[in-house]
A and B are shown apart, each in its own frame.
Chain A
Amino acid sequence: MKSAFNRCILAFTTVLAVGAIGGQACAQDKPLKKYESGNKEFWTHPPDDWFLGDETQAQKGLTPKAGPPTGSSDAELAATLKNIKLPPGFKIEVYASGVLSARQMAWGDKGTLFVGSFGLGNVYAITDNGGKKQVKTILKGLNPPMPTGIAFKDGALYVINVNKLIRYDNAEANLDKLGEGKVVYDDMPSYAAHGWKYLAADKDGWFYIPFGPPFNIGIPPTSVSQIRRVDPKTGNAELVGLGVRNSVGGDVDPRTGKYWFTENARDWLSDDTPSDKLNMISKLGEHFGYPYCHEGDIPDPKFAMGHKCSEFTPPVLKLGAHVAPLGMKFYTGNMFPAEYKNSILIAEHGSWNRHKYQGARIVRVTADPDGKNAKETVFADGWLDGDQSFHGRPDDILLNKDGSILVADDWAGAIYRISYSK
């Protein structure tokens, strides 16, 4: 018994090492993972492999990959960027390296680039020191270690860490001593799974904040699967979107003031369905379908429970299955060709619950202000490494003052700059 199991592990390791398909007979000896996720105990104490709890025979054995602990070296980054394909006239370069687990980015008024992180508890400040980028860790050891969402407003740095929105006043003058900050909003559950967040400010200075469910699929706890709009000055908040799974990116449309957001669809249905989504909130309290309906037209096999997809707001655009769209921005700069104006650039983090990974690229979406006529083209591509690994994983986009864009990559621990010249 034991030796058979040993062989199993070895075969599995070999599969990972050589990236080949083999040893499947072994994996099939193990029962499928199954968790009952619809209870408070699961939400507060998820098992180590909570995301595998709906495993199916077809998708069996697929599991997320961790990147290199220290990110990519400068030599590896140079090699990676050689393989990135962009439209004619565009160029990609490393803006800063050693930004481990880099997530959402925000500009300070005085030119400091702030960057959040996933799983490390770090927040970084990147400053320009005579043309050389200096990366400083300005917050570390945050608990939980999930300061994925950040924003900058009126001199203050805002960090959202699962269940706390924290404000650090006069941040750029205090990069060496940010202090404890002030919690300005905490009416949020501490559930870890899909508890990491993103911040997008509107013209009134309120933040759009996504709340994901603490599992893959199920009846969500009352406090999540929603988008809220929160005023960091008063702590006032309103529910603006319902029926949302895991969203970690969004932006306010400069044409209309409406909030658009990316959404990661459920796992374990198949390699090719359901599609991840780009959504728009056109009226307060819209329901986007989760957990009853996916991608606007697939009723959930278990959780549709009599609902029809026609009851819910369909996506503006289907982005593809398991592409993992995260940070996104409307392009409002002047450097790129005129047709880029007001199009949406989306950082796709790439798959794990798919036999042949896709995503790990930047796509460009054009759509009318009402969401009609949405079209997608690939903007930057080439971070996939074979069928089931990466050279990098784009996760956020930020406009640079000169009209170029910055891209955060948490796998490589790097920030890239993409510019254009005729």
Chain B
Amino acid sequence: MVPLMLRSLLSILCATAVSAALTAASFAADLEAAKKKAEICAGCHGENGISQMEGVPSLAGQPDQFIQWQLVFFRAGSRKNEQMQSIVEQLDNTDIRNLGAYFASLAPPKAPPDNDPDLSKKGAQAAVGRRCANCHTDSFAGTNAVARIADQREEYLLKALHDYKSSVRSGGGMAAMADVAYPLSEEEITALAHYLAHL
């Protein structure tokens, strides 16, 4: 009952995420300070935000606001992860803004060669059917509060979709992923993750 409810609750503000406003423009991010702060991230998320670690997402090229929201959600406890918990507790709002700008400034990861083009084809169809591009944009680079999913690590995309489907992860207050993932079949999840990881 509760997971169902959470799922629907969190869908409330999806469109918000798409059109997140650009008011914080007056904030000049301190990229140097962020780079220093980000050293602690590199241990898991990799040098320059490109993860080499299984199950850990790349952060390079993620939209500024997406990074900020996730850190705010980790800190608020609405997104749960033990390792992240202890780290976000040390971040203040200025750190979060700086880190958002920093990771957004890095060049996004490049896809490995596609070893299963047929699966990618299925994934591409599923992406159309499930309207992924509606929020993640046609290039899947994400925008504002919506994540870049293009060329993210395949096994991480699998994990994320499973977490959403089972309501372990909700998408925070600003996204609709739990509702989108709820009806996905196992086959679709496998195909989507493979396709998006090899764009």
Contacts and interface: CB of A to CB of B under 8 A. Distances in A.
Contacts of B21: 16, 65-68, 389-390
Contacts of B8: 44-46, 190-193
Nearest to B139: A6
B16 A65 contact: yes
Interface in A11-58: 13, 16-17, 44-52
B94 interface: yes
A188 B104 CA distance: 42
Interface stretch (A117-125, A291-299, A396-404): A117-125
Contacts, number: 164
A27 to B, nearest CB: 12
A98 B7 CA distance: 27
Contact of B13 (A2, A66, A71, A72): A66
Contact of A48 (B19, B26, B176): B176
Interface in B1-50: 1-2, 4-24, 26-27
Among B9, B96, B179, find the residue whose CB has the most chain A CB atoms closer than 10 A: B9
Nearest to B100: A69
B115 interface: no
A390 B23 contact: yes
A354 interface: no
Given A121-B77, A143-B2, A76 B24 contact: yes
Contact of A64 (B13, B175, B176): B13
Interface stretch (B52-60, B64-72, B148-156): B64-72
A192 B5 contact: yes
Contact of B11 (A50, A72, A75, A121): A50
Nearest to A30: B134
A58 B143 CA distance: 26
Nearest to A140: B77
Contacts of A51: 12, 15
A120 B78 contact: yes
Contact of A63 (B9, B18, B145): B18
Contact of B173 (A72, A76, A145): A145
B154 to A, nearest CB: 23
Given A66-B17, A70-B93, A140 B173 contact: no
Contacts of A73: 27, 93-94, 97
Nearest to A100: B72
A67 B6 CA distance: 21
B180 interface: yes
B17 A69 contact: no
A6 B138 CA distance: 6
A65 B9 CA distance: 17
SS of A interface (majority): loop
A118 B12 CA distance: 11
Interface in B91-145: 93-94, 96-97, 100, 133, 135, 137-139, 143-145
Interface residues of A, number: 57
B179 A47 contact: yes
B145 A64 contact: no
A146 interface: yes
Given A9-B137, A120-B72, A192-B5, A68 B77 contact: no
B32 to A, nearest CB: 18
A146 to B, nearest CB: 6
A194 B133 CA distance: 27
A141 B4 contact: no
Contacts of A120: 72-73, 76, 78, 173
A141 B85 CA distance: 12
A143 B8 CA distance: 12
A68 B24 contact: yes
B167 to A, nearest CB: 10
A79 interface: yes
Nearest to B182: A45
A47 B17 contact: no
Given A17-B22, A65-B20, A66-B13, A9 B138 contact: yes
A143 B73 CA distance: 13
Contacts of B69: 69
20 contacts: A13-B143, A16-B21, A45-B4, A47-B179, A50-B11, A64-B13, A64-B15, A66-B13, A66-B17, A66-B144, A69-B65, A70-B68, A70-B72, A70-B97, A73-B97, A98-B93, A120-B73, A121-B173, A192-B8, A389-B22
Given A49-B14, A195-B9, 8 more contacts: A5-B138, A16-B21, A48-B180, A64-B16, A65-B16, A66-B16, A192-B9, A389-B22
Interface of B: 1-2, 4-24, 26-27, 65, 68-69, 71-73, 76-78, 80, 93-94, 96-97, 100, 133, 135, 137-139, 143-145, 172-176, 179-180, 182
Q: Which 10 A-B pairs have the closest CB atoms?
A: A141-B77, A119-B173, A48-B176, A48-B14, A192-B9, A69-B68, A144-B9, A70-B93, A66-B16, A66-B20
